[in-house]
Structure 1
Amino acid sequence: MSEAPVNKISLKGVTKRFGPKVVLDGIDLDIPAGQSTVIIGGSGTGKSVMLKCILGLMEPDRGTIAIDGADTTRARGKARETVMAKVGMLFQGGALFDSLKVWQNVAFALIQAEKMAPAKAREIAIEKLAAVGLSADVADLFPAELSGGMQKRVGLARAIAREPEILFFDEPTTGLDPIMSDVINGLIRKCVQDLGATAVTITHDMHSVRRIADHVAMLYQGKLIWKGPVGDMDNEGNPYLSQFINGRSKGPIQMQVRG
Structure 2
Amino acid sequence: MSTPAKISLRNVHKAFGAKKVLQGVDLDVAAGSSVAIIGGSGTGKSVTLKCILGLLTPDQGSIVIDGLDMTTASRSDHEAMLAKTGMLFQGAALFDSLSVWENVAFGLIEGKGMKPKLARDLAIARLADVGLDADVANLSPASLSGGMQKRVGLARAIATEPEILFFDEPTTGIDPIMGDVINDLIVKCTRELGASAVTITHDMASARKIADRVAMLYQGKIIWDGPVSEIDQTDNPYLQQFVAGDIEGPLDLDLKHL
TM-score range, shorter chain: over 0.9
Q: 1:24 Cα deviation (Å)? A: 0.5
What is the distance in 2 between the residues matched to 1:254 and 1:109? 41
1:149 aligns with 2:147: yes
What letter matches 2:20 in structure 1?
Answer: V
Secondary structure, aligned partner of 1:7 = coil
Q: 2:106 aligns with which of 105, 108, 111?
A: 108
Calculate percent identity across the aligned residue pairs: 65
Q: Equivalent residues in 2 for 1:13-52 (5 A)?
A: 13-52=11-50
Match of 2:82 in 1: 84
Q: 1:5 Cα deviation (Å)? A: 4.5
Q: Deviations over 1:127-169 (max 9, x none)?
A: 1000000000110100011000000000000000000000000
Match of 2:173 in 1: 175
Match of 1:8 in 2: 6
Q: 1:255 Cα deviation (Å)? A: 7.6
What is the distance in 2 between the residues matched to 1:68 and 1:111? 25
What letter matches 1:247 in structure 2?
Answer: G
What is the distance in 2 between the residues matched to 1:199 and 1:73? 20
Q: Equivalent residues in 2 for 1:155-194 (5 A)?
A: 155-194=153-192
Secondary structure, aligned partner of 2:138 = coil
Q: 1:256 Cα deviation (Å)? A: 9.0
Q: Deviations over 1:164-191 (max 9, x none)?
A: 0000000000011010000000000000
What is the distance in 2 between the residues matched to 1:31 and 1:113? 25
Instruction: Return 5+ residue gaps in structure 1 as ranges.
Output: none
What letter matches 2:2 in structure 1?
Answer: A
The alignment of Structure 1 onto Structure 2 pairs a total of residues equal to 255
Q: 1:4 Cα deviation (Å)? A: 3.0
Q: Equivalent residues in 2 for 1:97-246 (5 A)?
A: 97-246=95-244
Q: Is the CA contact 1:40–1:219 (under 8 Å) kept in the aligned structure 2?
A: yes
What letter matches 1:94 in structure 2?
Answer: A
Say what the alpha-carbon RMSD is for the aligned residues: 1.2
Q: Is the CA contact 2:40–2:202 (under 8 Å) kept in the aligned structure 1?
A: yes
Q: Deviations over 1:12-47 (max 9, x none)?
A: 111101111110011111111101100000011000
Q: Is the CA contact 2:42–2:254 (under 8 Å) kept in the aligned structure 1?
A: no
What is the distance in 1 between the residues matched to 2:191 and 2:96? 30
What letter matches 2:10 in structure 1?
Answer: K
Q: Deviations over 1:70-106 (max 9, x none)?
A: 1111334211110001100000001000110000000
Q: 1:6 Cα deviation (Å)? A: 3.7
Q: 2:247 aligns with which of 246, 249, 254?
A: 249
User: Which moves more between the two structures, 74-83 or 199-208?
Assistant: 74-83
What letter matches 2:67 in structure 1?
Answer: G
Q: Is the CA contact 2:34–2:196 (under 8 Å) kept in the aligned structure 1?
A: yes
What is the distance in 2 between the residues matched to 1:77 and 1:63? 19
Q: Is the CA contact 1:9–1:67 (under 8 Å) kept in the aligned structure 2?
A: yes
Q: 1:236 Cα deviation (Å)? A: 1.1
What letter matches 1:170 in structure 2?
Answer: D
Q: Is the CA contact 1:216–1:229 (under 8 Å) kept in the aligned structure 2?
A: yes
Q: In structure 2, do the counterparts of structure 1 residues 159 and 256 end up closer, same or farther at CA, with 3 Å as the change threshold?
A: closer
What is the distance in 2 between the residues matched to 1:124 and 1:256? 45
Instruction: Return 5+ residue gaps in structure 2 as ranges.
Output: none
What letter matches 1:126 in structure 2?
Answer: I
What is the distance in 2 between the residues matched to 1:246 and 1:125? 40
